[in-house]
Amino acid sequence: MNQLAEELNEVLAGTVAERLFSEMGRHMYFPKGIITQGAEASERAYRFNATIGMAYEHGQPMMLDALRKELPGLTPTEAVAYAPTGGVLELRKAWKAALYKKNPSLEKKNISLPVVVPGLTAAVSYICDLFVEPGDTVIVPDLHWPNYRLIIEERKMAAGITYPLFSGNAFNVEALLEGVRQAGQRRGKAIIVLNFPNNPTGYSLTLEEADRIANGLLEIARGGTDILAIADDAYFGLQYENNLLCESMFARLTNLHPNILAVKADGPTKEDYVWGFRMGFVTFGGRDLTDQQYDALTKKLTGIIRSSVSSSCSLSQNLLLKALTYEGYDAQKAGYRAVLEGRYKAMKKKLASMKLPGGLEPMPFNSGYFMSFYCEGFSAEALRKKLLDEMGIGTVSLLDRYLRVAFSSVEEKDVDDLCEAIAQVVAELQA
């Protein structure tokens, strides 16, 4: 094992993070190579800096005029230079400050400085690189983002264990906790993914459900099980009903117990309506972890980044940094959120007023971008194809039992027609 990895492991010795590491996580480190030497040169080379593989002219990175014309608000360094492996430092600081603002339960809790990764898929994948290995169990609901299966079962060769997302019209808290208990009994550790608002159902936890999850995990951790709780907050902040948890479960679980490590995967993709920026953040939170230990975790994560994509897009990061400080930023976000809420309410109202065909059951939804139908007695894939071929309507079928509908991408005035068309095609399938 590399000496740098051993040094990081010594810093983390005895912590839940060190116990949870995969073999890759234990071996990972951030090298003191070109990147480190280049950083030193940036600070101290006052004559010539001949370290980094970029072409400079008059003290700035070379930049084509065709790009300068399209990006007049950015300097060449902001637009085309490499970003640091962990991300633009000012952006990381700004995102951390925003986490405290958006998650009141984080008050007075110490968390790591977020690390920039190339999207939410990369965030979940890199977290699994650090902590998941063959033989581990990762607990996800039966209704989940399909990419989890590729990451957990195919890339990491771990076992993805599912539980029913719903018990009646509520989140199935007990099934989640039972999965954690069983995993803990087998290996002494449990890994869970908490995704709210949920993709594909658009369901967010009630405050009571969030409390039950936190209390249940605390009880299990007190019994000796090490728990990695991954909060996938891709659709953060898009709750449309009262009495829902509007902050991340990360905030509830950080600092809860020394045997719980919470990791937050989030980003501007949906929060700031920049889907193609391909940018996310990973933040660690654990009880009694010191700044030095957070730094060690961050160095292992940046080792993962350095050994895969090297660094995330500088252009996206600098554009987001400018947006975060833009006058009217919060008001513009609130305006778009209101548009999505209007589409959600239109969907709720229409479904409540319709007599739906038998076998087509709307599943609980209260947030996010999506809602899903449970299809009983007919194929969800057949429904999807018929909607597409005969109605020109695109939807997503899952497990041949569920039809996911993204109301986020349908104008509010068209929601009624969309629901009527789905009901009509189901009736035709059953005829």
Q: What is the CATH number of the domain that holds 11?
A: 3.40.640.10
In a domain, 63, yes or no: no
Is 194 exposed, middle or buried, given 0-12, 13-18 or 19+ CB atoms closer than 10 A? buried
| pLDDT score, position 343 | 98
Cα–chain center distance at 119:
8
pLDDT score at 282:
98
- What pLDDT is recorded for position 397? 97
pLDDT at res. 51: 76
Q: What is the pLDDT of residues 275-306, one digit of tens each?
A: 999 999 999 999 999 999 999 999 999 999 99
pLDDT of residue 43: 72
- Please indicate, yes or no, whether residues 300 and 360 belong to a single structural domain of this protein: no
Give the H/E segment covering residue 360.
strand 360-362
Round to whole Å and give the CA distance between 143 and 124: 17
User: What pLDDT is stored for residue 44 in this prediction?
Assistant: 80
pLDDT at 47: 73
> What local confidence, expressed as pLDDT, does residue 50 receive?
76
Domain boundary among the residues 324, 351, 381 is at 324
The answer to whether residues 265 and 392 belong to one domain is no
**Per-residue model confidence (pLDDT) at position 46:** 67
How many whole angstroms separate alpha carbon 298 and alpha carbon 11?
12
Q: What's the domain count of the chain?
A: 2
For residue 186, how many other CB atoms are within 10 A of its CB? 13
SS3 sequence of 86-122: CCCHHHHHHHHHHHHHHCHHHCCCCCCCCEEECCHHH
Residues 14 and 128 in one domain: yes
Q: Are 297 and 67 in contact (CB under 8 A)?
A: no
User: Same domain for 289 and 265?
Assistant: yes
Shared domain check, 304 and 394: no
pLDDT of residue 414: 98
The rounded distance, in Å, linking the Cα atoms of 276 and 49 is: 33
Judge whether 175 and 212 are in contact, CB under 8 Å. no
State whether 170 and 120 are in the same domain: yes
Answer whether residue 78 is part of any domain: no
Residue 39 counted as domain residue: no
Residue 51 included in any domain: no
Q: Considering the entire predicted model, what is its pTM?
A: 0.95
| Phi, psi dihedral angles at 139 (to 5 degrees) | -100, 120
Residues 270 and 367 in one domain: no
What is the spatial distance between Cα 261 and Cα 254, in angstroms, rounded to a whole number?
Answer: 7
Residue type for position 63: M
Q: Are residues 347 and 310 in the same domain?
A: no
Regarding whether 360 and 409 lie in a shared domain, the answer is yes
State residue 40's pLDDT score: 75
Q: Which residues of the chain have pLDDT under 50?
A: none
Last residue of a domain, one of 308, 324, 340: 324
| Domain-embedded: residue 59 | no
pLDDT at 184: 94
Q: What is the pLDDT of residue 34?
A: 66
Q: Are 288 and 298 in contact (CB under 8 A)?
A: no
Longest Cα–Cα distance in the chain? 81
Do 245 and 351 fall within a single domain?
no
pLDDT computed for residue 83 by the predictor: 94
- Of the three residues 307, 324, 341, the one that is the final residue of a domain is 324
Q: What angle do CA 204, 335, 408 make, to 5 degrees?
A: 50
240 located within any domain: yes
Say yes or no: 312 and 347 in one domain. Answer: no
For 280, the domain range is: 3-30+85-324
Q: Are residues 127 and 168 in the same domain?
A: yes
Say which CATH number the domain at 367 has: 3.90.1150.10
Establish if 79 belongs to a structural domain.
no
